[in-house]
Amino acid sequence: MRVLVLCVPLDDAELASDRLWAAGACAVEERAADGSTAELRTILADSDDVSLARLGRLAPGWTVSFLDVDDAPAQTWREFSEPILVNDRLVVRPAWLARVDSPDVLEVEIEPGGSFGLGDHPTTRVSADATWRLTTAGSRVLDVGCGSGVLSIIAALRGASRVVAIDIAEAAREATLDNAARNGVTDRIEVSTSAIEHLSGSFDLVVANILAPALVAMSAHLRRLTAPDGRLVLSGVLAGQHAHVIAALAPMRVVTTTELEGWASVELCHT
């Protein structure tokens, strides 16, 4: 496992962390290197060149290095994972566990690989519930920041006729393809690492479970790609701290907000 280590002056730690999340990090570990420097560790890509390109130009005083880390200890969480009951009709099951096989329950099998989206994080759970609720037969769905592909797969299994899944991380593209095949919906999901600004068309449902700075940066495209009578569901925003994200999406208006364990999911429409 190739870990990127970003050292920055202590005052820049929050800014640097936002930069890593916006570059596609699934998790960021912050350590105080000494009294004046913070060390941020994450994984962006297998290749150092791709990681550096994704990170972009470094601010003065920022330095990057890479570490090879044995990922075996990092996999012990798998032993403790359980199927996630998103609602009484939808279960997300880690691929290494036996089928739940409950009548009338839609079961989605996920192997996250190196991507985010096993289904246990509160932002995934609220997004998954919204995707399940808002997808109807024939819906066109866009999943921005697809991670493991969990939301795209729920949409496809609910009958969406077209699902477009994008993510800046190559690991997410691979995981989504793998999970689409596991769930038998490869033919309905188009997966790529295309940037949102290169997408065209109109979607009945746009879901984006990404942190606030990235949502604000792409707000014009999220608005443009949501059909006139469609819905946009944002997650990845902290409860009570997302007014600026809503403001960036104006004149779209909030239909409903759901909060779970300190995170918020906001559903918006055009009129």
Ligand X SMILES: C[S@@+](CC[C@H](N)C(=O)[O-])C[C@H]1O[C@@H](n2cnc3c(N)ncnc32)[C@H](O)[C@@H]1O
Q: Which residues bind ligand X (CB under 6 A)?
A: 22, 24, 26, 115-117, 123-124, 127, 144-147, 150-151, 166-169, 172, 196, 209-210, 214, 236
Distance of closest approach, residue 146 Cβ to ligand X, in angstroms: 5
> Tell me, what DSSP letter sits at residue 58?
P
Amino acid at residue number 108: V
* DSSP E strands, 50-133: 63-68, 84-87, 90-94, 106-110
Q: Could you give the strand order of the β-sheet that contains 106-110, starting from the edge strand earlier in sequence?
A: 84-87, 90-94, 106-110
Closer of 172 and 234 to ligand X (Cβ): 172
Q: What φ, ψ does residue 73 adopt, rounded to 5°?
A: -65, -30
Q: How many residues does the chain have?
A: 271
Retrieve residue 266's tokens. Answer: 């906001």
Distance of closest approach, residue 271 Cβ to ligand X, in angstroms: 27
Closer of 12 and 167 to ligand X (Cβ): 167
Closer of 13 and 263 to ligand X (Cβ): 263
Sequence-separated (6 or more) residues with CB below 8 Å from residue 258: 126, 129, 130, 264, 265, 267
Retrieve residue 231's tokens. Answer: 């819905």
Closer of 12 and 170 to ligand X (Cβ): 170
d(CA 122, CA 2): 27
Distance of closest approach, residue 34 Cβ to ligand X, in angstroms: 30
Distance of closest approach, residue 31 Cβ to ligand X, in angstroms: 22
Distance of closest approach, residue 117 Cβ to ligand X, in angstroms: 3
d(CA 24, CA 261): 23
Closer of 147 and 230 to ligand X (Cβ): 147
